[in-house]
Structure formats: C-alpha cells, structure tokens
Amino acid sequence: MAGKTERFQKKVAESEIGAIRKRWKGRIKVALVYPNTYHVGMSNLGFQAVYELINKIEHAVCERSFLPTTTGKKSDRILSVESGKPISNFDIIAFSVSFENDYPNLLTILDKAGLPLLSDDRGPPHPLIIAGGVALLLNPEPLAPFIDCFLIGEAEAILPRFFDTVSPDVLVQNRRSCLKTLAGEIPGIYVPTFYRAFYHSDGTLSAFEPIFDVPAKVERQYVEDISRIPICSKIVTPDTIFDSTFLIEVSRGCPHGCRFCSTGFVYRPPRFRTFSLLEKCMQKGALVTDKIGLVGAAISDLPDIDKLCRQSLEKDIRISFSSLRADAFSPELLSTLRKSNVKTATIAPEAGTERLRRVINKGITEIDILDATEALVAGGIPNLKLYFMIGLPTETMDDIDAIISLCKKIKHRFLESSRARKHMGEITVSLSSFVPKPFTPFQWVVLDDIHLLKEKIKKIKDGLKRVANIRIHADIPRWAYIQALLSRGDRNTAQILRLANKNQGNWPKTLKSSPVNPDFYVYRERPLNELFPWDFIDHGIHKSFLKKEYKRALLGKTSPPCPMESCHICGVCKEMVDIYK
C-alpha cells in the first residue's frame, strides 16, 4: 500500500499543468529539492525557473522533490514528483534555498534520504550535493560542511557551463577532480572543501584562503541583460500560496537601496524586462489561467507598468503584484487592482517616524503613506495590510509609539474613504523583527534582544487593541534570532545545525547545549574592520561603500536610488559618475 508521501505526490501531480517528464536513459539525473513543503516550494518562481532551465539541457533530466508534510515520521521517504523515485537514486541533488530558516530542513531531507550529512563522509555512489538560491548568495558558510558545491549567482549564468562539465561517469570515476575543474575554471562555483578558515583566539575570522589552485574570491555570476530571458511559471497548480496564478518575473534587484534589504545590493544593477517580452509571457499565461502575478522587488519602477496594466484591462486578465511602493499608485495601477478583484493591498511603511525611515533609506514619507491609503480605498480595495519592522538600528521606544500613532492616522484616512463607499474593510498590521543581513549597510549591527522585541510587540498590540477593524500579526522573535544566527554564521555554526537535526528541531534544547556560543553571531556588534565569513564572495560592491552607507544611516542621511546606469559609487559599475552630487 502506498504511503502518505506517495499518495500526496500522486494527488499534486494530477492537479499540475506543465510538468516536464523526460526519459532517464543517457541523461544526468537531477533531483531539484526545495527544503520546505510542496505548497511553499511551488510558490517560488525561482525554483520553477531552475526546474525549466535544467530540463532545457538535452543531456539532463530534472525532477522536483520537497520536504514531506509529516516530517516527524521516519517512514516518510523523499521522492521525486515526476517519477516517484527516491532522490538518493539521482546523480545530483540540487537544493534551491531561499530562506535561512530552511537550513535545518535541508539536513532533515538528507537524513530521510539515507545520506550522510557531511560532505567528507559521502562519495560514489552517493549523489553529488549542490546548492544555490537567494540565501546562499549572501552567506553559504553555515551549510559549507554539508554541501559539495555551491552555485553563487543567477542560474542562467552558471547552469549551462556546470552541466557541460559534469557527467554520471565523471562523478563516479573521479569526483574530486571534477570538483577541482568546476571550482578552478567556472566562475561562481564554490567548493567549500577547497578553502580553509582561520580564527583569532576570540573566535573572529582571521583569514579565509584557498587550499588548491582555485580563486581566492568567488565572483557572483549574473545576467547583464534579462530583457531577452523570460522567467515565468512552468507549472500552474492550485496547491500554492497563489492558487493557480501564472507568475512572471518583471525585474531583478531594486534601485531604492533600503539599507536593511539585501535585494537592493546583491542584485545590482537593477534590471527590468521589456514590455514586449512581458506581453508575450502574459499571453502564454492567459492560455492556462486568468490570474497573472507579477513578481519583482520594484514592480512599480517598471518603465512600462502602466502600459502593461492597460493591456491586462483590455485582455480581461486579473493581475496581482508582489510589491508596490506607497508613492507609486497610478490610476492605471488602481484600475488594474480593482478589475482584478484584489481585496487586500499592501503598503510597507517599515517604520513609524520620518527619522527612522531616513535611517533605513526607505524613501517614502508619511504623506505618501496616507495618500496611498486614501487612493486604495477610494479605488475599491476594501482591505489594507501594513508592514512594519521592529528592532531597526537606532530605534527607540518613541519610534514604537509612532507606529501606533501612524496606524491610527491610517485608520482615520481609511475610515473617511470607506464611509464614502459605504463599506468598512479591515487593516492588518504585520510586525517583523529586523534581522541584519550580509552585504547590506547593516551587516555590522546586532539583533535586538529577544525580550526587548517581545516588549515592543506587546506595546504595539496594547496600543491598537481598542482600535476597531485593526488586526495585529507579529512574527516570533525567537525565529528572528535563529535567522540572524544562520545568516551571519561561519562554518562553526554548522555544529549548531547538526545538533538541531539530532534534536529533531528542538531549538531551545539545541541552543542551551550548543558547543558553539550562538550569541557570538547574534548579539555582537561587529567592528568595521572585521573580516566576515562571507567576504570571499565578490558581488562587485565595495565594502567601503557599505561602510559609507552605514555611517550615513547613523547620521540619518538618505542616499539617492541606484541610477541603473554606470556610476562608480558602489563598485558594480565602473564609469566615474558621482551620484551623491
């Protein structure tokens, strides 16, 4: 009798439109694994893009696999969706990792697949374990002992050369030689076993050096011109967060440079797709569903966004947006939201005061926020979601009080506009804890103390609990602590991950008995001259630029958006044009 995993795999496979099935014979077999559930993984457009890219390579076949929904059961096997075969039968297991908090799931999957956790304990006939994804662009070191090979950069720029180099025979006959070739000859390939970390007596990193003839720095790979590369859903399924929505990536990166957000730095320069390409993607999506989702960190900055909206209105297509700025709600956008039957729009003030928004370089004002609220409700969007961060650098309790005050002002505008339409919707206030991330101007700062974060959440909840039609949703500060630990950890952090795996995800027990002090990575403010575990990755951004931005933040000074054309200020582009003038 089929187990629960097999039955679930069969059910979701039957509901999918667009899955790829290729014969195994004569091809290198790749299990593409998202270290979370099917529902979460299939909502990730990047995961689907890699699935399609690998399958376009003639001599490769790629099948998907996910974390079982019942992770506590030993009997749950890790099977591919397409053929139902165990991932241990594949030549390569490729992890697509978007979030640090999924790192423990990666170890769970290796465990359930019957594979040794440590790279040094594996070899033929075990599959080669590779990994890439947004989280690993920032800092792969906490996973370094478990992964044979990291792909640092955008898949389109690395995968073709990678699969020109590897083959089943090579992996069996001389895997180490194959890894040396990959690391030494293909930019963006990082093989941890070929590098050694050295530490000072206080635990900080003193040096990070290659052991063999491989680059001292691993250069992030990216596609300079994405205007000819369509990235959209390969598979449409109702079993996702977006429910049978056809997703289209409209841009990469973000010009605004919010200092807490890694997207605005590691994806520089910001790139946008052309209207003609996006129009073709929409036409393709309209063949399978009437719901189109536009994905990107800066959708409202797309030069042809209004034109794209008019097109959707003419074609009777419903469009949703992954993100829109409060200062960018044009009449075309509002008409598209209304016609697409969008019930909830999102605004991200991030902070309650103008001072703190200057610190984080958010680039929107309270007037922008209030005007956007009024425009959305007047435009027929009944509900509003507000995103705020707590624990931001230089934050005081006055800034927390200001979140309460701003929410009340928004509610007042919301109420006035709703009365005119004779319908009162709901405001959801979402509170998340700031986590310092690598390659951002805030990579030097500490995480706010967990107890203080809880106190701030309680203060906001108490301040708004008597305000009608406002709901508060707050994340759990303990998970922000774990995320900070994994986002800024080094190779020693892998010991904590192994212990968490042994304790079956019991983090309080793990942190209490950890052989490595987790507070060292979370609550220690870094000196400006410290060598970071992730400094060996070259994103093109000068560390001096990030230091300058950090100092400007502490002074409450804003910086202009990335001009999306050559300048010298951050290092990614080379021409000498000073945007600070």
pLDDT digits (tens, 9 = 90+) for 20-35: 999 999 999 999 999 9
First to last CA, the chain: 71
- Cα separation, 352 vs 402, whole angstroms: 5
Chain-centroid distance of CA 341 in Å reads: 27
Assign 242 a pLDDT band (cuts: 50, 70, 90). confident
CB atoms under 10 Å from CB of 498, counted, come to 18
For position 511, what pLDDT does the model report?
97
**Smallest Cα–Cα separation from 180: which of 218, 222, 221, 212?**
212
SS3 129: strand
Read off the amino acid at residue 561: P
SS3 85: coil
CA angle 229, 233, 237 (to 5 degrees): 175
For position 3, what pLDDT does the model report?
66
**Smallest Cα–Cα separation from 230: which of 270, 280, 155, 159?**
280
Instruction: Give per-residue pLDDT as tens, 511-539.
Output: 999 999 999 999 999 999 999 999 999 99
SS3 197: strand
Assign 388 a pLDDT band (cuts: 50, 70, 90). very high
Token code pair at residue 559: 């910086």
Q: Determine what percent of the chain is predicted with pLDDT higher than 90.
A: 77
CB atoms under 10 Å from CB of 338, counted, come to 14
Burial 527-547 (b: 16+ CB within 10 A, else e): eeeebbbbebbbbbbeeebbe
φ, ψ for residue 554, nearest 5 deg: -65, -25
User: Please, where are the H alpha helices in 435-506?
Assistant: 450-464, 477-487, 493-502
Token code pair at residue 482: 């774990």
Mean pLDDT taken over the chain: 92
- Counting Cα atoms < 13 Å in the Cβ hemisphere of 508 gives 1
Interval 177-189 mean pLDDT: 95
Read off the amino acid at residue 381: I
SS3 327: coil
Q: Omega before 561 cis (within 30°)?
A: no
- Cα separation, 423 vs 401, whole angstroms: 29
- Cα separation, 152 vs 143, whole angstroms: 13
Read off the amino acid at residue 308: L
Decide if pLDDT at 72 tops 90: no
CA dihedral 88, 94, 99, 102 (to 10 degrees): 10
- Cα separation, 533 vs 536, whole angstroms: 7
Interval 175-192 mean pLDDT: 96
- Angle separating helix axes 305-315 and 275-286, nearest 10 degrees: 30
The answer to whether 313 and 339 have CB atoms below 8 angstroms apart is yes
**Which residues are within 8 A (CB) of 125 and not within 5 positions of it... i.e. 6 or more apart?**
172
The DSSP bridge pattern shows strands 470-474 and 205-210 to be unpaired
User: Please, where are the H alpha helices in 139-191?
Assistant: 155-165, 168-173, 175-185
**Smallest Cα–Cα separation from 410: which of 378, 375, 370, 377?**
370
Looking up tokens 């075969």 gives: 85
Instruction: Give per-residue pLDDT as tens, 82-129.
Output: 999 999 999 999 999 999 999 999 999 999 999 999 999 999 999 999
The answer to whether 259 and 361 have CB atoms below 8 angstroms apart is yes
**Smallest Cα–Cα separation from 165: which of 153, 178, 184?**
178
Q: Omega before 125 cis (within 30°)?
A: yes
96 strand-pairing partners: 132
SS3 323: coil
Token code pair at residue 450: 């967990």
φ, ψ for residue 446, nearest 5 deg: -95, 160
Decide if pLDDT at 578 tops 70: no
Token code pair at residue 120: 């040094």
For position 418, what pLDDT does the model report?
78
Lowest mean pLDDT among 224-228, 386-390, 417-421: 417-421
The answer to whether 443 and 437 have CB atoms below 8 angstroms apart is yes
Decide if pLDDT at 322 tops 90: no
**Smallest Cα–Cα separation from 296: which of 327, 260, 243, 256?**
256
φ, ψ for residue 414, nearest 5 deg: -60, -45
- Angle separating helix axes 450-464 and 397-421, nearest 10 degrees: 30
- Count the residues in the chain: 581
Interval 429-445 mean pLDDT: 98
